[in-house]
Amino acid sequence: MLQANGSVTAVKSKKPLNFKKGVKPYLYLAPTLVVLIILLIVPIVMVISYAFFDNVIVVQEPQFAGLKNFGIVLKDPTFIMGIKNTLFFVIVSVIAHMLIGMFFAMLMNTTYLHVKTKAVFRVIYALPWMFTASVIAITWRLLYDPVGVLNFLSQTLHLSQSTIDFLGTREIALKAVTVINIWSGYPFYMISILAGLQGISTDLYEASSIDGANPVQQFFRITIPQLKPILISLVMLDFVWTIQQFALIWMTTGGGPVKATTTVSVYIYETAFRTYKYSQASAAAVLALIVCIIIAIFYVRNQRSED
């Protein structure tokens, strides 16, 4: 730059400074990204690669198998049974979560209950969501035991003449495990829906009352439309979480009796760590991953449409 006295001074470029400002946030994120890549991305890539090779881990030089493992898995009767069990487990759980969560959220949002009463009920209703899968599994195994509380009550109330082995009877084991999952998962819906209900303006309900709308009409014409974005997000997330549910099933029934509660996640575990067919287990895991990715895509699109 030319000064008044005729001397020339250099002008410092602002680009390095801007470059540093642009890089600095990523440096803070770098450790987290590295851990994420190591613990999440790398295992996913490894599992996908295993699905296309034969006898991985078991032999030192596995041979490329193409889609062979996928064909074996899709023809496996146990995997087909696992799909059917998973569909029942997921669909019933998601619907029940929605209905029970909506009911308790509406109950907590009503003006008929005292504030202190609501506070107590919120804690009680949210408790199942706070427990780990191991605690839930042990608790319900005690309840379902042939000499447990449920059998005692059913015989005392003359609902059943004999003891029922809820987790050991093939016809009812899957239903019993589904009930456990419903009990442990509905609080997430309740809390989320309650937050949505409290965000709906009371003016809408007052205006509809003036127009002659009854509570049922208000529910379907005001409450549900206002909660629609939240409900769609909850259902999609719940689908993914329930499909992946493993610990609860494994610690209650272990996939039995006679594969009655074997879901896709249990099938993957047993195939990999009991029969050591890691290639086929990886193929089954990739199929489950594809389903989860499809649901995730719909979830992201729904979130973008809300924005």
Q: What is the mean pLDDT of residues 178-187?
A: 96
Length of the chain equals 307
Residue 220: C-alpha distances to residues 102, 104, 136 (Å): 13, 17, 35
CATH architecture, domain 68-306: Orthogonal Bundle (1.10)
3-state secondary structure of 258: coil
pTM equals 0.87
d(C-alpha 126, C-alpha 74), whole Å: 39
CB 190 within 8 A of CB 108: yes
Per the structure block, which two tokens stand in for 13? 């470029």
How high is the pLDDT of residue 120?
Answer: 84
Lowest mean pLDDT among 1-10, 71-80, 224-233: 1-10
How high is the pLDDT of residue 1?
Answer: 52
How high is the pLDDT of residue 298?
Answer: 86
pLDDT, tens digit, for every residue of 64-111?
A: 999 999 999 999 999 999 999 999 999 999 999 999 999 999 998 888
- Could you tell me how far CA 177 lies from the centroid of its own chain? 16
Q: Domains of the chain: which residue ranges?
A: 26-64, 68-306
